[in-house]
Amino acid sequence: MVPENIFKDRHYSSQAIIGLITANYIVFALAVEIFVSCTSVNWFFWIVLAGLAVYNYFTIRRNEDEFAEKRTKIIYVISLVGLGIIYYLLAFAAQHCQVSVPAK
| 9 located within any domain | no
15-35 and 70-88 helices cross at what angle (nearest 10)?
20
Burial of 18 (0-12, 13-18, 19+ CB in 10 A): exposed
CA-based angle 96:26:16, to the nearest 5? 150
CA-based angle 39:79:89, to the nearest 5? 30
Position 54 scores a pLDDT of 97
Position 92 scores a pLDDT of 78
Position 2 scores a pLDDT of 60
| 53 located within any domain | yes
Position 9 scores a pLDDT of 56
Position 15 scores a pLDDT of 82
| 98 located within any domain | no
Domain hosting 36: range is: 15-93
Position 93 scores a pLDDT of 77
| 2 located within any domain | no
Low-confidence ranges of the chain (pLDDT < 50): none
Domain count across the chain: 1
| 6 located within any domain | no
Scanning the chain, the segments in alpha helix (DSSP H) are: 15-35, 43-62, 64-67, 70-88
